Amino acid sequence: MPTKNVTDERLSKFKNKGKDPAKLREKRITECVELRKAHKNESFLKRRNLTLSSLPDEEGLSPDHLSAETVTPASMEEIIRDVNSESREAQTRGCQAARKLLSQECNPPLKEIIDAGLLSRFVSFLSMDDEPALQFEAAWALTNIASGTSWHTQQVVEHGAVPAFISLLASPMLHISEQAVWALGNIAGDGSAFRDVLIECNVVPALLARISPDTPVGYLRNLTWTLSNLCRNKNPFPPLSAVLQVLPSLIQLLHHSDKDILSDACWAISYLSDGDNDRIDVVVKTGIVPRLVQLMNHEDLSVMTPSLRSIGNIVSGSDVQTQMAIDAGVLNILPQLMRHKKASVQKEAAWALSNIAAGPCNQIQQLITCGLLPPLVEQLKNGDFKTQREAVWAVTNLTSGGTVEQVVHLVQIGALEAIINLLQVKDAKVILVILDAINNIFMAAEKLGETEKLTLLVEELGGLDRIEMLQNHDNELVYQSAHNLIEKYFGDGDIEGVKVDTTQDAFAFQSPDVKRTFEF
């Protein structure tokens, strides 16, 4: 009798015989190239015309204010002259006029200001601690330029603004420091390259130093946003050392009560968890998973969305990582999110579900116990296409990793009917994934000896017609997969002979060469 371990190992081999489980039950992460509009509810990469929370009241320079103020904007010549003058007063006036121009809603003259060579002047003003007004106006002007395209941001960085802004973080004047936070956020939001330039210049400790129990909420919002941009972007990811520096503060911020802070902190976590299992590990090790799950229940969409995304990322990781999310109760919240009124939330929830369904059968069982199959089938039937696509993956993953009983249960509550209806979708990949699911269900039926029953059910549900039609599909793999299903379960499989023109009477029974030694 083999020992217990050997038996277990063998039994595990049985479950997915004939296929590579890793290949079929893919944990899926989103791809990079997008044709769609950027997600409307995601956080901004760069921001302009924010109201500084810490702006002293008497300054009263909110953008609303600006429009009223700038009835007669200064001309570019005046600005150039003033900024380049040696008089502090003129410089301040020039910077302010430039900043106002740059703050206008439509077509701010970013390029004109850059071409006029004013950036190096602005940057030099940043270090004038004894001229806070000038410092502030210059910082604001640069912030607005950095909020433009990559090229604009690049100009700001190349003129040496990064170290100057980082020093400015320590300014005793809260509004100046906040302006620096904002500018740095815009630079970090440009992409991996400048983000890492900032990190190289030690922006993280300088930012974190500003977090204290007394930091005003408004300031903290901006700071959280900037931190989130420092966590953002892949290829490459932010360096691990920086991530480890930021994480404790992010965890702290995730317990704040302000929804904007929560939102950006969640986005930061979602960026950090959007990667391979090692990246996810760094996040889950902080013990933040239960809090994230809790935030998935947040009433505000801006908090719920990124926390759902973060958890979605985490369950795309290893089985252990997924289990942490399950233990934190994610499966109790997902049903209501699957039925959320917003299609984008349904889609994210279904995506998370599809990845949990790619896990081992005990996780699948938990998913079933928590009542996720009914909303899954509802989405397959009536959901938005993007949600249906994710839901289809969930079905395929479940049918390939689940036990026979689990697969039967899924079929009984209507998933087979729903995916068969979806065979008419205009998306080759979805069709292929459905055909895989149908094949998996047939394998389960074979184990139960109910292949014929399933064949009839598929036909009754109109599946046979649809699969037959797919044999005309232009996509080779779809065609092949449909053809295989028909051949295997619905066909009569004619065998055609091959013509050979030998005319011997018999085969020779040849005495083989006995010299060689056999070794098996």
Partner 1 sequence: MELNDANLQTLTEFLRKTLDPDPTIRRPAEKFLESVEGNQNYPLLLLTLLEKSQDTVIRVCAAVTFKNYIKRNWRIVEDEPNKISDQDRTAIKANIVNLMLSSPEQIQKQLSDAISIIGREDFPQKWPDLLTEMVTRFRSGDFHIINGVLRTAHSLFKRYRHEFKSNELWSEIKLVLDTFALPLTELFKATIELCQTHATDINALKVLFSSLTLISKLFYSLNFQDLPEFFEDNMETWMTNFHGLLTLDNKLLQTDDEEEAGLLELLKSQICDNAALYAQKYDEEFQPYLPRFVTAIWNLLVSTGQEVKYDLLVSNAIQFLASVCERPHYKHLFEDQNTLTSICEKVIVPNMEFRSADEEAFEDNSEEYIRRDLEGSDIDTRRRAACDLVRGLCKYFEGPVTAIFSGYVNSMLAEYAKNPGENWKHKDAAIYLVTSLASKAQTQKHGITQANELVNLTEFFVNHILPDLKSANINEFPVLKADAIKYVMIFRSQLPKEQLLQAVPLLISHLQAESTVEHTYAAHALERLFTMRGPNNTTLITAAEMAPFTELLLNNLFKALALPGSAENEYIMKAIMRSFSLLQEAIVPYIPTLIGQLTHKLLLVSKNPSKPHFNHYLFESLCLSVRITCKANPTTVSSFEEALFPVFTEILQNDVQEFLPYVFQVMSLLLEIHSNSIPASYMALFPHLLQPVLWERTGNIPPLVRLLQAYLEKGGASIAGSAADKIPGLLGVFQKLIASKANDHQGFYLLNSIIEHMPPESITQYRKQIFILLFQRLQSSKTTKFIKSFLVFINLYCVKYGAIALQEIFDSIQPKMFGMVLEKIVIPEVQKVSGPVEKKICAVGITKVLTECPAMMDTEYTKLWTPLLQALIGFFELPEDDSIPDDEHFIDIEDTPGYQTAFSQLAFAGKKEHDPIGDIVGNPKILLAQSLHKLSTACPGRVPSMLSTSLNAEALQFLQGYLQAATVQLV
Question: Do the beta carbons of residue 79 and residue 67 sit within 8 Å?
Answer: no
Closest separation between CB of residue 61 and partner 1, Å? 33
C-beta closer to partner 1: residue 92 or 400 = 400
C-beta closer to partner 1: residue 343 or 370 = 343
Closest separation between CB of residue 274 and partner 1, Å? 16
SS (H, E, C) 184-250: HHHHHCCCHHHHHHHHHCCHHHHHHCCCCCCCCHHHHHHHHHHHHHHHCCCCCCCCHHHHHHHHHHH
Closest separation between CB of residue 20 and partner 1, Å? 7
For tokens 């007669």, what's the residue? 72
Question: Do the beta carbons of residue 477 and residue 432 sit within 8 Å?
Answer: yes
Closest separation between CB of residue 426 and partner 1, Å? 6
If we measure between CA atoms, which residue out of 407, 411, 427, 409 comes closest to residue 419?
Answer: 411
For tokens 């069709």, what's the residue? 431
Dihedral pair phi/psi, residue 507, rounded to 5°: -80, 145
Residues of this chain that bind partner 1 (CB under 8 A): 1-3, 7, 10-11, 13-14, 17-18, 20, 31-37, 343, 382, 384-385, 424-429, 432, 456, 459-462, 464-465, 469, 473-475, 477-478, 494-512, 514, 516-520
Question: Could you check whether the bond before residue 236 is cis, i.e. omega within 30 degrees of 0?
Answer: yes
C-beta closer to partner 1: residue 57 or 494 = 494
Closest separation between CB of residue 166 and partner 1, Å? 35
Closest separation between CB of residue 38 and partner 1, Å? 8
Give CA–CA dist 432/363, Å, rounded: 25
If we measure between CA atoms, which residue out of 51, 94, 58 comes closest to residue 76?
Answer: 94
Dihedral pair phi/psi, residue 233, rounded to 5°: 75, 145
Give CA–CA dist 453/448, Å, rounded: 10
C-beta closer to partner 1: residue 15 or 409 = 15
State the DSSP H helix or E strand holding residue 348, giving kind and residue range, or none if neither.
helix 343-356
C-beta closer to partner 1: residue 289 or 431 = 431
Give CA–CA dist 338/370, Å, rounded: 13
C-beta closer to partner 1: residue 88 or 473 = 473
C-beta closer to partner 1: residue 106 or 514 = 514
